[in-house]
A and B are shown apart, each in its own frame.
Chain A
Amino acid sequence: MKEFEKISGKNPFKVPENYFEEANRKIISSTVESIHEVRKESIRLKMRPFLFAAASVAGFIIISFSTFRFLTNYRHKTIEVYTESTIEPYLNDLDVTSLEENLKNIEMTNGPSGIKKSDIIDYLMLENIEMDEIFEQL
């Protein structure tokens, strides 16, 4: 042992400056402090199903509302298209002779005074008004 006593007094191994303070800090952050992060994470994990459910309900509401609006607009447009597609050929096929006959059947209760039905037909022919234009005015 005397041999050892001569040699072993000094520790030959060195460490970086402030190593132990740094090492302790690293140890604490990877043990004690990491558990707080784990707890926060576990709360987030527990909330996740509820958040998912809330997001699903919100998504369903948005989709339903959008679908409803889309279908409602579509119906209006469909009526418009139907109106156009049904009445337009009818008007195109309508000639002046048949228009005159139809006018005879219409009682112009609200029309301006002094205007005859024949005046209307003359006007239409003179002005070269197309049936489409009449329809647009309607």
Chain B
Amino acid sequence: MKSDPDKGFRLLVEKYSTRLYWHIRRLVILHEDADDVLQNTYINAWRSFGEFRNESAIYTWLYKIATNEALTLINKRKKSNAVSIDDLGSYFEYSHEGSTWFDGDEAQVKFQNAILQLPEKQRIVFNLRYFDEMTYENMSKVLATSEGALKASYHHAVKKIEKILGEN
């Protein structure tokens, strides 16, 4: 990849863009936001390609960039108060986004809402473990957190979601 960076980077795009998109989408919810974050992720990766030192697998490096970009957008969204997605059910019911880019039944809406209630970092841990089936070893490289802390975080996330779903 280092001998032919252009070709190597194209392979990275083809291989990981879909996975990265869904990871981002589960965090930011809206398709257009996810698209923006995905573009920014690869642009940042391209710019810092020369600095990649093979200390971790390339995909954990990409996940790290994608996660940071998604969190940047979420924080920006909070400050601007442009979109409130605390309650997915209401949001999708009354917005164009809901009718176009979300096709879940009531149970799915409740499940996604329950995940949204988690603190940000815990939500990321839950998503990476549950949906991406990432190992705790790789997750610790993505989130710069110990494996033990990640395991505990995931356990608590599951308990919270079960409780919310049980209440609803």
Contacts and interface: CB of A to CB of B under 8 A. Distances in A.
Interface of A: 1, 3-4, 6-8, 10-16, 19-20, 23-24, 26-28, 30-32, 35
Interface residues of B, number: 38
Interface of B: 6, 9-10, 13-14, 17-18, 21-22, 25-26, 29, 31, 35, 38-39, 42-43, 46, 100-105, 107-112, 130-131, 158, 161-162, 165-166
Nearest to A20: B18
Contacts of B29: 13
Contact of A32 (B9, B26, B35, B112): B9
Given A14-B100, A19-B35, A20-B17, 4 more contacts: A4-B130, A4-B161, A16-B31, A32-B6
Contacts of B35: 19, 23
B31 A13 contact: yes
A84 B105 CA distance: 106
Contacts of B105: 12
A13 B111 contact: no
Contact of A4 (B25, B39, B104, B111): B111
A15 B10 contact: no
B46 A24 contact: no
